[in-house]
Structure 1
């Protein structure tokens, strides 16, 4: 009966009818109401299977992005680790976030069926469903509160800052997601925040003017910050092979924890994106145009608050699926659009849709900042894949990554990730500094900038609604002993080496992140979490150490990178 109702509701849409009827092959029994579209009777013995598959298949009509958050992509990465021997489940994983219609959403947080029973409206909404749901034919709308309420204490900062400060994060917002028919979707999310962070994050925000990956700061009650941010997009797929998005958000290239090409570490930015998928799913080509900001403002005018200097970025990514192997080619180009003399003439190459052509025109030392790269993923087994990246600005400035992901270790819901990252000195820097590979003072690739080596190990274990995570970062990075020096780690300085007699200050970072969470509602990744973030930094002042114990009640729809 459930499948019959589903077919009846979609009888006027040939594409949906064919997908639904395909889940139950021909045979005697129930006649599909899609017969007007040339479909055939549905076999009764397959109705239970079809009823189970139909909701999953229907999800693939949505064009929204899957929220770019690690807990959610853990399920996706496990699905996409399976070896596809038939060529019917190709999913290109090198460019994120995924479009829902192109991802395998089976058993993915926020999309999987929830059979738990709740006998009250309030408990249904708190533990199982979206807060508000509107369904009217092909129109589907959800509205949810998003928030982050956290209290903590830093036990490893010996300074007065920790003794006299109570740390907290108070964030409130709303998330709206909708589908207007099978081809058009939209989403919007807004957060308003007040927070006091451990001192190393406080000092980082003082220097860059932003909370890592979240918002531009304003002072609030002594040591607190007030900041807000928003993201959203409209997504349109006029055909299965084309998706067009206009939005304000972030992207991530690769299959690792970090990306040496483009990560979601920095603030959101406005973009216009086109993504093309071949008919057989063998290749996917993505290109988008984005507007990036600098920390410096334009001269004061009539406006109460001047705009920031801006630049634009064009990104190309070509992904080819070769069965067990996925290969991606990457190019990003940053164009300067405004300087002290005013707005520059429009550069036609900003509209170039062809990967590699900007490099040919600009070379490795032209006026634009151009990075070429590649990413690789090899499925060794259904539970193991290895991955890597390579990025290059010129012969002297390169970066690379190597790693592996292992799923369901010992047959349980236990997952392991091991990764190593390296960036040469002056990687991502530019001459002048405003043309560097950063946005609003934050790196667009590795959050520590250049001249860094880092090993990352992550272990995730799930037991029913509980998630336990342990992550350790071991990094060696180099800082300038004075503002007048430049050894190639600080992206806010120009690509002009300024060595000193003693060399750079070498620091060893050990960052331990432990957490235990209970999942309240999968629709917004609502969790109650207890955690510890320990930061030990050698050859550094006491205020840069941290041992932060916290408890939080939060929703999780984006990544936070505090391991810097």
Structure 2
């Protein structure tokens, strides 16, 4: 794979043009992107169901929206559009550039722009440097060692010779998670959204982590319609809160992403190296974690100005003497054919997604993922290998005419044993964490989100999660833990239903308020109430938190 990538980079770097790095990948940013795409009345060519989006494309969406006389923008909308433009000001035209200037700089060289602590531009280079800081403390009634977050770091992005883009983020973190996150971390032997972490004390009352986090990639425009990204980062496919296809919940992974966009078509290829933490290999007296691999094709088409439909296929594989199997490097072949041609030893998943925006207020979206499909058994008494996941959701912005009051409802369903496999090299897992939904499989979930921005800098939100999840018990595999081999300890072949096993009913309510003191400098207040009920026991927790963050997203831990 290394030789192939070297040749590929050599060919494409011979002739490149101006390109863009990507926007942040977090819930708040994604909501703004979806909101203003709905408000624009047209899907354009943003293809926001593939996240993150390019900064260049987002700036175009916001500036076009300001020029659209049919769009009714509130004062808060104008503030938000200016915020998004300021965050990527290098793509603004000369007329708008001055709006990002700070009223007062620091020592003449720092904070000259609202969004950058330091920036430098000339004909050869463009650099943006900003610190990352987050400190939060909380009270959780179920634990003695109370939750704390302490994050410090730096973020750097830019371009060289207007041809090569780059991004890097480095943070040092000490975190004591709430009790329910600690339980999740112990179960999966991994912390949500993160890779390698050191557990400072494994005792259940003093559970904390200390870890260094890093992401980085380069981008370049190979041809007018083809952009290349290579590095360690994440991706998210979908328009919802969750993704049944590919989410950002697992650890960052090394990948090559090729995005081809021609008119109403966008075609994305991702070739990635994941981490199989379930296997340890002794090499020369040391213990190493072997890799596993991932290839994904996603075709997105704007059928009309309101309707987008996507088709995808992906394959997870590993344990090859040559590493990445070059058969899966073909960007335009049907992966299921290749997988069958190689002996059907790998895990292939296919499916579709859609989004329909209408009346500049509504968006209907959904996903269907097929992990196993056998027409003969599909409707036959709930066969164990009838494995699929579905999602349906809706956004309603400016509810009942109330400006900047937005509502979102989403329903997710995943059959038992979906995403699991008979090999740890082929389950839908990276660094022990699900690549799709955090609950894995064997569940039903309803999500409700209300967001309200009454004034420019104040953000209020309420989230409710209601789920029924079938968990394992008595050492039997009931299909909820996708780390397990679906051939081992499976109780039955037929009669498998969602919620089978030890049924957990989860209710998670989250009420939050954030105030932006300066650009990307927030103070956050949050109140969470979470309960899990089983047949013979129940746990309830109430968590109150206060935090400050600068150039750092809120940690979305809706489990």
Q: TM-score, normalised by structure 1?
A: 0.80
| Partner of residue 547, structure 1 | 542
1:431 to 422, 425, 434: 422
| Partner of residue 139, structure 2 | 153
The 1-side partners of 2:550 and 2:191 are apart by 18
| Alignment CA distance shift 1:405-1:289 (3 Å) | same
1:318 to 299, 319, 327: 299
1:63 to 14, 20, 39: 20
The 2-side partners of 1:266 and 1:515 are apart by 24
- Alignment partner of 1:468 is 2:460: yes
| Partner of residue 282, structure 2 | 300
Residue 477 of structure 2 aligns to a residue whose secondary structure is: coil
Q: Is the 8 A contact 1:208 1:295 kept in 2?
A: no
Deviations 1:175-217 (A, max 9, x none): 0011224442110001111111122211222232322002322
| Partner of residue 26, structure 1 | none
Stretches of 4+ moved more than 6 A in 1? Answer: 540-543
The 1-side partners of 2:515 and 2:283 are apart by 51
Segment drifting more, 466-475 vs 216-225: 216-225
RMSD value, Cα: 2.7
Q: Is the 8 A contact 2:397 2:404 kept in 1?
A: yes
| Alignment CA distance shift 1:117-1:93 (3 Å) | closer
- Alignment partner of 1:360 is 2:332: no
The 1-side partners of 2:172 and 2:538 are apart by 28
- Alignment partner of 1:134 is 2:120: yes
- Alignment partner of 1:204 is 2:184: yes
Residue 282 of structure 2 aligns to a residue whose secondary structure is: coil
Segment drifting more, 75-84 vs 250-259: 75-84
| Partner of residue 232, structure 1 | 216
1:272 to 256, 259, 263: 256
Unaligned runs of 5+ in 2: 1-16, 64-80, 87-95, 374-385, 493-498
- Distance apart, 1:97 and its partner CA: 0.9
The 1-side partners of 2:50 and 2:345 are apart by 27
Which of structures 1 and 2 has the bigger CA Rg? Answer: 1
The 1-side partners of 2:244 and 2:251 are apart by 17
1:397 to 364, 387, 395: 387
Unaligned runs of 5+ in 1: 1-59
2:506 to 484, 502, 509: 509
- Alignment partner of 1:218 is 2:198: yes
Residue 211 of structure 1 aligns to a residue whose secondary structure is: coil
Q: Is the 8 A contact 1:285 1:318 kept in 2?
A: yes
| Partner of residue 14, structure 1 | none
| Partner of residue 238, structure 2 | 254
| Partner of residue 94, structure 1 | 49
| Partner of residue 8, structure 2 | none
| Partner of residue 283, structure 1 | 265
The 2-side partners of 1:95 and 1:184 are apart by 22
| Partner of residue 9, structure 1 | none
Q: Is the 8 A contact 1:171 1:194 kept in 2?
A: yes
| Partner of residue 350, structure 1 | 328
Residue 248 of structure 1 aligns to a residue whose secondary structure is: strand
Segment drifting more, 242-251 vs 180-189: 180-189
Matches within 5 A, 1:12-23: none
| Partner of residue 121, structure 1 | 106
| Alignment CA distance shift 1:345-1:151 (3 Å) | closer
The 2-side partners of 1:386 and 1:537 are apart by 30
| Alignment CA distance shift 1:269-1:542 (3 Å) | farther
The 1-side partners of 2:103 and 2:168 are apart by 29
- Distance apart, 1:441 and its partner CA: 0.8
- Distance apart, 1:363 and its partner CA: 4.7
| Partner of residue 52, structure 1 | none
The 2-side partners of 1:369 and 1:217 are apart by 28
Q: Is the 8 A contact 1:96 1:252 kept in 2?
A: yes
Deviations 1:208-259 (A, max 9, x none): 2322002322122553211122111101013331101101011111111100
The 1-side partners of 2:328 and 2:157 are apart by 31
Deviations 1:11-60 (A, max 9, x none): xxxxxxxxxxxxxxxxxxxxxxxxxxxxxxxxxxxxxxxxxxxxxxxxx9
Segment drifting more, 404-413 vs 485-494: 404-413
Q: TM-score, normalised by structure 2?
A: 0.81
- Distance apart, 1:545 and its partner CA: 3.5
- Distance apart, 1:348 and its partner CA: 2.8
- Distance apart, 1:120 and its partner CA: 5.8
| Alignment CA distance shift 1:315-1:109 (3 Å) | farther
Matched residues, number: 486
The 1-side partners of 2:82 and 2:398 are apart by 15
Q: Is the 8 A contact 2:404 2:452 kept in 1?
A: yes
| Partner of residue 36, structure 1 | none
Deviations 1:411-452 (A, max 9, x none): 411111111001011110111234110101111011100111
Q: Is the 8 A contact 1:63 1:182 kept in 2?
A: no
| Partner of residue 448, structure 1 | 439
The 1-side partners of 2:552 and 2:319 are apart by 33
Deviations 1:481-515 (A, max 9, x none): 13x21011101101126355995011111111111
The 1-side partners of 2:535 and 2:209 are apart by 24
Q: Is the 8 A contact 2:503 2:535 kept in 1?
A: no
| Alignment CA distance shift 1:417-1:556 (3 Å) | farther
